[in-house]
Amino acid sequence: MPADLLTAPRFLAEDLGLPMPDDLHAVSVCLPLWDHNIGYEEGDPAVISKLQAAYPRFCFHPLVQQLCDLHLNKKGRQGLYFASESAARRATEYIRANGCDQSGFHSFDDYPVCGVDVAAESFPILKQYWQHAGENISSRVAELILNKRPVSCSDSADRRAVKDRVAQIQQTSADNVYLFSSGMATIAGTWRAVQQGWPGSTCQFGFPYVDTLKIQQRFPGAQHTFLPIGDDSDIEKLKQLCESSPPTAVFCEVPTNPLLVVPNVPQLRQLADQYGFLLVVDDTLAACGNLHLLPLADVLVTSLTKYFSGYGNVLAGAITLNPDGPHFEKLQSLIAADFEETLADVDVAVLRQNSEDVAQRTQTINSNATALADMLRADDRVESVFYPSAGNAIYETLRSPDGGYGGLLSIVLTDAAIATPRMFDALEVCKGPNLGTHFTLCCPYTILAHYTELDFAERCGVSRWLLRISVGTESIDELERRFQSALSHV
């Protein structure tokens, strides 16, 4: 029987490298001690050699690695498989733009996937595209190919059910929903539509998840302005920018990752209407159904990997278009022309099953996270708690009638440099990347997402000692006990 991570979380030193959940296709891995996270970032063989899983855009699932070793990694060359030929061609364009002209292109007989290989010294550039764009093949697809079984992306009952469920959460028609192979693939797909229909400079409003910014910094043709705080002063800076050189699109998260800032979306919408730019909103951290954002956005992008799936064993994403938005017809035309069904049937089936209990699961997570945030705010050993709970006026204007405040919170401890490693090492919850799972997860977010740019992150207000907590469905009494126990070690 798989381990029950609600009652037996993976947090001990001997749990290093174990998958979370206890599943062949888990998308998180246990990094139980502070030094393990440092070792992971620095490529320490003592850590890397223990990994039985990893977040699939950052490390290669063993089945994906096996497929690449079998067909692409030969004679001083390394390669990766992408979900479609078009995705592979975009990867070659990216590496060519970064000075690598000698790439190989490998279609795969009878399969929709396509490989790209480069000289080993150029592989880090290819891996950049894999990470940023999220158009990779899944571990289940690799498993099917290795076992010589067919891979399909059909108009299945499961796919229709997932689209209907997303549409119901967003309060729109399933005709406005497009499914992708990952959350980042939705952002990359939206960025391509923006560049084709509204070429020019974009703006990132608020400190975002790392790869959202990297797309706007690194993709061929990218130009961007970065307003990292996302507060009223940045609204004023955006207004000034619009007066001189308005962006073609503004990207924002609601709330932001990892500081849970809630941008003034109604005001952003007013500026979008006034100056004609697109408003692209990532609502992943709001969890499913807590906020009603579609009427204010032109495009909603959502990582279905997180709260929608909730069980940490499948990657997926969705674009939802606002049918009442001023740019809907043009956006719909551009998205539809570029769109491919790359989320394989085998993954869609898991996504449908996982999301059956999304409403009930989200309610429990909302309640637990609010209670845990309140407990941590009252503790002198915690300097800062970042969580959009009651009293946030902007959040309240966006909140659905039955919506809560989400399941993600971040903390910075008092005397953080000394206290944080001690508290983290003692914490009895699953420890590793990812969020939105039904079991609680904690990670030193800034270390994992910005290890090579910690000073930059701190200039943007994100402490290198920040701990990000994705609250699960455990008993709140048990969760509070675990965190109180960990804090007793500081």
The CATH classification number of 157-356 equals: 3.40.640.10
Domains 62-137 and 357-487 share a fold: no
| Cα 194 to Cα 432: distance, rounded to the nearest angstrom | 34
Q: Does pLDDT of 285 surpass 80?
A: yes
Q: Determine the pLDDT at residue 395.
A: 96
The amino acid at 67: L
| Residue-range domain boundaries for the chain | 62-137, 157-356, 357-487
Please tell me the predicted confidence (pLDDT) of residue 109: 85
Name the residue with higher pLDDT: 466 or 53.
466
Of the candidates 290, 291, 315, the residue with the CA atom closest to the CA atom of residue 303: 315
Q: Taking 90 as the threshold, does the pLDDT of residue 376 lie above it? A: yes
Task: Reply yes or no on whether the pLDDT at 264 is more than 90.
Answer: yes
What pLDDT digit, counting tens, does each position of 200-217 carry? 999 999 999 889 999 999
What is the pLDDT averaged over residues 331-352?
97
From the list 150, 146, 102, the residue with the least C-alpha distance to 123 is: 102
Identify the CATH number of the domain defined by range 357-487: 3.90.1150.10
Query: Confidence band (pLDDT; 50, 70, 90) for 389?
Result: confident
CB 439 within 8 A of CB 30: no
Q: Is 7 exposed, middle or buried (0-12, 13-18, 19+ CB in 10 A)?
A: exposed
149 burial (CB, 10 Å; 0-12 / 13-18 / 19+) is exposed
- Return the ∠ at Cα 363 (arms to 358 and 364), rounded to 5°: 100
What would the two tokens of residue 14 be? 């001997």
pLDDT at 179: 98
> Looking at residue 211, what is its pLDDT?
92
Distances from the Cα of 334 to the Cα of 109, 208, 291, 327, 445, angstroms: 29, 25, 27, 11, 35
Answer CATH for 62-137 from 3.30.160, 2.70.98, 2.40.160, 3.30.70: 3.30.70
- pLDDT at residue 54, rounded to an integer: 81
pLDDT in tens, 25-81: 999 999 999 999 999 999 999 999 999 988 888 888 999 999 999 999 999 999 999
Determine the average pLDDT of the residues in 214-224: 93
* Joined tokens for residue 2: 């798989």
The token duo for 355 is: 């999301």
The pLDDT of residue 390 is above 80: no
Single-letter code of the amino acid located at 364: T
Indicate the pLDDT class of residue 108, thresholds 50, 70 and 90. confident
pLDDT of residue 102: 83
What's the pLDDT at 103?
85
Residue 259 sits at φ, ψ, to 5 deg, of -90, -5
168-181 tens-digit pLDDT: 999 999 999 999 99
Q: Provide the 3-class DSSP secondary structure of residue 116.
A: strand
The answer on pLDDT for 100 being more than 90 is no
The pLDDT of residue 329: 98
- The CA–CA distances, whole Å, from 163 to 1, 124, 219, 289, 324 equal 31, 35, 29, 15, 19
Burial of 49: CB neighbours in 10 Å, binned 0-12, 13-18, 19+: exposed
The region of weakest confidence among 2-6, 108-112, 161-165, 419-423 is: 108-112
Average pLDDT, the chain: 96
Give, in order, the Cα–Cα distances in Å from 487 to each of 133, 375, 381, 424.
38, 12, 7, 9
Residue 391 has pLDDT above 80, yes or no: no
Going along 11-138, which residue ranges are E strands? 19-20, 28-29, 77-82, 104-107, 114-119
Confidence of residue 446 (pLDDT cuts 50, 70, 90): very high
Q: Which of 108-117, 141-150, 181-190 has the lowest mean pLDDT?
A: 108-117
